Structure 1
Amino acid sequence: MELTQRQKLIFRTIVERFTCTAEPVGSKALMELLDHPLSSATIRNEMAVLERAGLLEKTHISSGRIPSRRGYRYYVENLMETSLPTTVRTTLRDIFMERQYTLEEVVRIASDVLSEMTSLTSIVLGPDASGQRLQHVAMVPLSTDSAVALFVTDTGHTENKLFRFEQDVSLPDLTTCTDLLNSHLKGIRLEDIAGHLEELRPLMAAKLARSEVLYEAFAAAFMNFAAEKMAVSGRSNMLAQPEFSDVNRVRKLMKILEDSDLFNAWTHQSTNIAVPIGGRNELIQIGDCSVVTAKFRTCDEEEGRLMVVGPNRMPYARVIALTDAMSDVIEEIFGTDKKGGRQDEQTQEAAAGNGTGGNEAGSRKSGG
């Protein structure tokens, strides 16, 4: 059905009013909200048309109307206007330019910022590196009981890991261990390294004085490297939404948000409705919940997702604008289209080090 301009104006006003108040909108309220004077009878007639079209619905007989799930989809696809003040975009960029963050830190900060700026629950999934192959390991000793290891994959993805050993580890042990890892694990997929490291265990025991200490440290590090990074912020914001007043329901939702496997299953149910928004964003409707997602890329082989979870009654224009801007900032920091930038220079410098060479560990970033 093609709406008239007047119907579009009334419908947009209802959506935006209900988003703010969570209260059904009646004809008298609309008379005060609309810029163009319309009679109550005219507004009621137009609301009845919108209801028959499936865009509005009543909560009970005497109430005003609220947008339906279909109505929200129509609003997002046809009426929503996204914009973000330049000052907000600048602020987002400044947050991440304060210092050089690792991608894991960016995932956490992005989740916190999105939650704070939307007053909803946010989830950020960092790229899953499990399918990448190990290219190089470098070790930087800090003291006898601590060191920083730098891992580099075949895609240019790098990550550092601080080790604090339970027992003192000598520099020769660190050097020998690094050489063993580089000679036996290069080219192995990260998700398969645990098995290959177990096969390497007898050789480590024969060559290293502190073999068990180093084995346990690297096994944990590789598992963390291969795992999907997930950050959840603003869980308590769910409690502030009238749609989530059922405590048991919120507990169930919190359990889903805490587990990436449960969350992926939840967002990929066959009963869900997904609405693409441009080339990057998507709206997923799951019952009376909505999830706005935005993809970001850190290199040719890596893709992460920003997500904001809330009721169907969420401020879509602002949420979509924020997730889109956040994606731009992350890609600006970690993207592969920069040549000669600080990311590429430091990644190359870190990857060029052999064994325990170098004075500092590089931060996690991606380069093409």
Structure 2
Amino acid sequence: MTQSRRMLVLRAVVEDYIRSQEPVGSAALSKERDLGVSSATIRNDMAALEDEGYLIQPHTSAGRVPTEKGYRYFVDRLATVVPLSEAQRRGINSFLSGSVSLKDALQRSARLLSEITGQVAIVASPSLSKATLRHVELVPVAMSTLLAVVITDTGRVAQHGLIVSAMPTADDINRLSSAVNEQCNGQSLSSASETVRALGGGTGFETVREAADALADSFASMALDERANELY
């Protein structure tokens, strides 16, 4: 959208709709906002904004309401951002620096946002289905169980128990871990699952094939997690 009066109309519609939760009409904008143009001109601008996907008209005789695209443009380009004071920045840094994990950081962030804005704040943890692999550690924890510690690009840490009929040697486990980290770094969990399964079926990895298959299954399961893990 070009830098024009139309942007002022979009801003007015978004702000009025947020406040009233009712479709916004051209006559109301002309009366309540000093846009410097007639109601007919505003109506034309609103029609153009609707054609461009920023507004929608619930029904023929109603005013317009913002679309997701309209809200996104408002937030990115039109909203007025009040800068934080230095004291607020120090307070936020101090509050969040005490986080001991991603979960703790998200909980603290939700609480902090609520306190600063005086509003309800909801924070969602990143969805594993859209994450990429950063690092994997394989740790023997029992006679027939390996613990896979999976770290994603979002900082999310997930743990999975891998059951094997016979525990591979420490050297074989380290060799598998190194190969997975080398070949799967930056891959989606779905792609990493396929890579690890192929890796386990390759020459030289016969002793860790069972562990590789179990790790591939874990990646596949994580890739199916379409929802954010938790809401705070």
Q: TM-score, normalised by structure 1?
A: 0.36
In the other structure, the counterpart of 1:25 is 24
Can you list the C-alpha shifts for 1:156-213, whole angstroms capped at 9, x where unaligned?
A: x99774537598xxxxx64x43322334674352432223324579953xxxxxxxxx
CA distance in 2, matches of 1:232, 1:158: 14
Change (3 A) 1:217 1:95: farther
Kept in 2: contact 1:148–1:160 (CA 8 A): no
- Describe the superposition over 1:32-56 as per-residue Cα deviations: whole angstroms up to 9, x where unpaired: 754x598xxx552342241353356
Aligned length: 199
Matches within 5 A, 1:176-191: 176-183=168-175, 186-187=178-179, 189-190=183-184, 191=192
SS at 1:25 equivalent: coil
Please say if residues 9 and 46 of structure 2, whose CA atoms lie closer than 8 Å, have aligned partners that are also in contact: no
The answer to whether the Cα contact below 8 Å between 1:148 and 1:162 also exists between their aligned partners in 2 is yes
Determine the structure 1 residue equivalent to 2:80: 81
Note the C-alpha offset of 1:24. Answer: 1.2
How far apart, CA to CA, are the structure 1 residues paired with 2:228 and 2:176? 40
In 1, distance between residues paired with 2:49 and 2:158?
Answer: 53
Structure 2 Cα separation of the partners of residues 122 and 137 of structure 1: 22
Aligned counterparts of 2:175 and 2:219: Cα–Cα separation in 1: 19
Alignment-derived partner of residue 163 in structure 1 = 161
1:63-102 superposed matches below 5 A: 63-67=62-66, 75=74, 78-82=77-81, 94=95, 97-101=98-102
Alpha carbons of structure 1 residues 94 and 33: separation in structure 2 relative to 1, 3 Å: farther
**Other-structure match for 2:139:** 139
* Structure showing the higher strand proportion among its residues: 1
1:124 aligns with 127
Q: Deviation per CA, 1:75-122, whole angstroms, max 9, x where unpaired?
A: 456423345767699669856843134xxx699x59x969x7369x98
Give the % identical residues.
18
- Kindly state the Cα deviation for residue 10 of structure 1 after the two structures are TM-superposed: 4.3
Task: After TM superposition, list the pairs within 5 Å mapping 1:208-223 onto structure 2.
Answer: 216=210, 218-223=212-217
- C-alpha change, 1:197 and 1:146, in structure 2 (3 Å) is closer
Cα separation, 1, equivalents of 2:30 and 2:24: 11
What is the Cα deviation at residue 150 of structure 1?
5.3
Quick one: distance in 2 between partners of 1:229 and 1:92?
34
In the TM superposition, 1:246-261 aligns within 5 A as: none
**Structure 1 residues 82, 218: closer, same or farther in 2, change over 3 A?**
farther
* Residues in 2 aligned to 1:68 and 1:30: alpha-carbon distance in whole angstroms: 18
Counterpart CA distance in 2 for 1:69 and 1:53 is 16
AA paired with 2:173?
A: L
Equivalent-residue separation in structure 1 for 2:122 and 2:137 (angstroms): 40
Q: Tell me, what secondary structure is at the counterpart of 1:139? A: strand
TM-score normalised according to structure 2 size = 0.51
CA deviation map 1:105-164 (0-9, x unaligned): 699x59x969x7369x986355323xx8x8x855353x5565545579xx9x99774537
**Deviation for aligned residue 1:14:** 1.2
- Unmatched runs of 5 consecutive residues or more in structure 1: 168-172, 205-213, 235-368
Query: Which of 224, 243, 256 is residue 218 of structure 2 equivalent to?
Result: 224
Gaps of 5+ in 2: 114-119, 185-191
Q: 1:54 aligns with which of 42, 49, 52?
A: 49
Q: Are the equivalent residues in 2 in contact too, given 1:159–1:225 (CA < 8 A)? A: no
What's the CA shift string for 1:290-345, capped at 9, x where partnerless? Answer: xxxxxxxxxxxxxxxxxxxxxxxxxxxxxxxxxxxxxxxxxxxxxxxxxxxxxxxx
Higher relative contact order (CA 8 A, sep 6+): 1
Cα contact 1:127–1:229 (8 A) shared by 2 = no
